[in-house]
Amino acid sequence: MSGSMPGSMPGRMGTVEPPQSSDMLLRLLRVARGAGVRISVAESLDAFESANAVGFQDRQALKDALTLTIAKTVEEKQIFEKCFDTYFKRDSAPLGGKPGDPPHAPAASERQPGEAEGEAQGEGEGGGAASNLGQMLLNNDMAGLAAAMERAAEEAGATNITLFTQTNLFARRILDRMGLPELER
Amino acid sequence: MSTSLEQRIPTIESIEAGLAGQGYITSRQIATALFLAVRLGKPILVEGPAGVGKTELAKATAGFLDLPLIRMQCYEGLDESKALYEWKYGKQLLYTQILKDKLGEQLRDAADLDEALGRLDKVDDIFFSERFLEPRPLLRALKEPKGCVLLVDEVDKADEEFESFLLEILSDYQVSIPELGTQYAKVIPIVLLTSNNTRDLGDAMKRRCLHLHIGYPDARREERIVATRIPHVQASLLRQLVHFVQQLRTQDLRKLPSVSETIDWARALILMNATQLDNQLVQDTLNVLLKFEGDMTSAGKLVGEMTHQALREAQGMAAK
């Protein structure tokens, strides 16, 4: 199964490479769901409509619009706003290195979990996450964890999972990318 | 019309400015909610503590967009006939009486009962026409030719059955009247639902609405709000009283003072010719801000300290 994976990865990554706003929004929604905001399919559609209405240029307007559309309680609003901030913090910080990253990622998903650690440090972006993992756990930072998990899953190619027996393998890969080895050391 | 409504509020800033023109100082989020409501054709569910301007928002919006405001106050036991439409039963009866002769003429030469019934059938449509229809707020809102702002106030007070009924209308902006057929909205109204959270609204309702939470404003916005409402208030007194109220809100009270209470208090202070806060003055007027005996006693002990702090902060602001 893993033989077919690298073949399909670059193609998928190719479509992601210019960071498209719709992709960005989908991932953000997934992060928010992971952090505990309940979002129905209809609400996701609404989120797209609102984002189109306010545009992607003005980040504050986008944040307000999405919060209005998606989060339906005060608690959800707080969680979502945190997700949003975390999401864009990591999105804007490594912006320069971002286009270069995807080519490494598919290769990394092939390797043994042990090697992934070196990869994470090499990437720089991943290295930052590694030192953050402990911090996020200590602070009970759900939004941050969800964002990190989402990114790690992206890198490990979790969407390519086909057999349920692969669950553990991918879980391990995601944990590695989130910086578990450093935490265990 | 709906396109021109969109054109009239091309940006979020234009809404902020427009509402400010009506004396309503918004936050960015409130303006964004209106902006989206017009473009997505979705109702806005406004939640937040009492007295932060939820109802006021609807009024200001109607004023700013020059649309009629149709208000429906919800209460327990509110049903379709009060919210949607009713047949003018009395008028129907009166007309039947008056037209009795006319009907007799029509039916006299009918050969048998069946034919007479057939002829009556043709006539009774008249009695269930718009002439005898009494539109209630929801139907009125749909029929408004230029669109309107529909305010469904305190939706949490209505029963759950009514909530699901409301849901049906607000999702498609149409309603079916058995005798007349389906009535569509001429122009999709801007719908604002307010809730004070006396009970949790259903998930389905929340999903269909944009959810806007208006909390207590920060000091700067509150100062602007009070200044718009009471233009002749002294700047230094305004800063002091707003800072005092802001501190009061951090206390553990049963009912926190909201913006409307700040405005009332400012009015009271001006009537008393106050130029600045002092311990005695605040003690004497605390009942404008706090509505419970327990709150009064617990806050009363801290008044001196809070007044001092408010004076200091206001001075600090002025110095900047």
Domain range list for chain B = 2-79+139-213, 85-133, 219-319
> For position B216, what pLDDT does the model report?
93
B214 token code pair: 């208006």
**Last residue of one domain, picked from the residues A68, A92, A116:** A92
CB-CB under 8 Å, A64 with B29: yes
Residues A74 and A143 in one domain: no
> For position B178, what pLDDT does the model report?
85
> For position A96, what pLDDT does the model report?
39
> For position A9, what pLDDT does the model report?
41
Mean pLDDT by 10 residues, chain B (320 residues): 75 93 92 94 92 92 94 90 89 86 78 82 78 90 92 92 88 87 90 89 89 93 92 91 93 90 94 89 91 88 88 78
Does residue A10 form part of some domain?
A: no
Q: Total structural domains in chain A?
A: 2
Does residue A175 form part of some domain?
A: yes
> For position B314, what pLDDT does the model report?
83
Q: Which amino acid is at B22?
A: Q
Residues A72 and A125 in one domain: no
> For position A20, what pLDDT does the model report?
72
Q: What is the CATH number of domain B2-79+139-213?
A: 3.40.50.300
Residues A64 and A31 in one domain: yes
Residues A45 and A83 in one domain: yes
Residues A82 and A110 in one domain: no
Interface test with A, best of B13, B16, B27, B32 (most A CBs within 10 A): B32
Does residue A98 form part of some domain?
A: no
Q: How far is CA A117 from CA A106, A108, A113, B95, in A?
A: 15, 10, 7, 88
> For position A103, what pLDDT does the model report?
39
> For position A90, what pLDDT does the model report?
59
Average pLDDT of chain A is 70
Q: Report the candidate in A149, A173, A119, A130 with the shortest Cα–Cα distance to residue A33.
A: A149
Residue of B nearest to A74 (CA): B213
Distance CA A113, CA A184 (A): 14
Residues A108 and A178 in one domain: yes
Residues A121 and A70 in one domain: no
What is the domain extent for residue A134?
A: 103-184
CB-CB under 8 Å, B12 with A40: no
Contact (Cβ atoms closer than 8 angstroms) between residue A80 and residue A37: yes
- Give the contacts of B197 (CB within 8 A, at least 6 positions apart): B47, B156
Contact (Cβ atoms closer than 8 angstroms) between residue B150 and residue B61: no
> For position A163, what pLDDT does the model report?
73
Residues A30 and A76 in one domain: yes
Chain A residues in contact with B192 by the CB 8 A cut-off are none
Distance CA B75, CA B58 (A): 19
> Beta-carbon neighbour count of residue B146 at 10 Å?
13
Chain A residues in contact with B212 by the CB 8 A cut-off are 68
Which among A46, A60, A74 has the least Cβ separation from residue B40?
A46
Distance CA B206, CA B227 (A): 34
Which among A43, A49, A65 has the least Cβ separation from residue B32?
A65
Specify the pTM. 0.73
CB-CB under 8 Å, A69 with B28: no
CB-CB under 8 Å, A69 with B36: yes
Interface test with A, best of B47, B172, B211 (most A CBs within 10 A): B211
Q: How far is CA A170 from CA A122, A141, A160, in A?
A: 21, 23, 10
- Give the contacts of B167 (CB within 8 A, at least 6 positions apart): B202, B204, B205, B208
Shortest alpha-carbon distance between residue B196 and chain A (Å): 13
Residues A111 and A65 in one domain: no
CB-CB under 8 Å, B36 with A65: yes
Give long-range contacts, CB 8 A cutoff, 24+ apart: B196-203. Answer: B196/B47, B196/B49, B196/B50, B196/B154, B196/B156, B197/B47, B197/B156, B198/B156, B198/B157, B199/B156, B201/B45, B201/B155, B201/B156, B201/B163, B202/B160, B202/B163, B202/B164, B202/B167, B203/A72
Shortest alpha-carbon distance between residue B202 and chain A (Å): 11
Residue A127 pLDDT more than 90? no
Strand blocks (E) in B48-180: 69-73, 85-87, 133-135, 149-153, 174-177
List beta partners, residue A13. none
Element (H, E) at A4: helix A4-16
Tell me the pLDDT tens digit for each residue of A58-95.
Answer: 889 999 999 999 999 999 999 999 999 988 875 554 43
> For position A2, what pLDDT does the model report?
40
Residue of B nearest to A66 (CA): B210
- Give the contacts of A145 (CB within 8 A, at least 6 positions apart): A35, A136, A137
Residues of A within an 8 Å Cβ radius of B? 40, 42-43, 46, 49-50, 53-54, 60-61, 64-65, 67-69, 71-74, 77
Tell me the pLDDT tens digit for each residue of A159-173.
Answer: 777 777 777 888 888
Residue A10 pLDDT more than 50? no
More confident residue, A100 or B232: B232
Q: Which amino acid is at A21?
A: S
**Last residue of one domain, picked from the residues A66, A92, A118:** A92
Size of the A and B interface in Cβ pairs below 8 Å:
49
**Burial (Cβ within 10 Å: 0-12, 13-18, ≥19) of residue B212:** buried
Number of H helices, E strands in chain B: 17, 9
Residues A154 and A107 in one domain: yes
> For position A131, what pLDDT does the model report?
60
**Last residue of one domain, picked from the residues A92, A114, A145:** A92
The CA-based diameter of chain A, rounded to the nearest angstrom, is 48
CB-CB under 8 Å, B40 with A68: no
> Beta-carbon neighbour count of residue A156 at 10 Å?
25
Distance CA B42, CA B19 (A): 20
> For position A88, what pLDDT does the model report?
82
List beta partners, residue A25. none
List beta partners, residue B213. B47
Q: Report the candidate in A149, A104, A154, A145 with the shortest Cα–Cα distance to residue A124.
A: A104
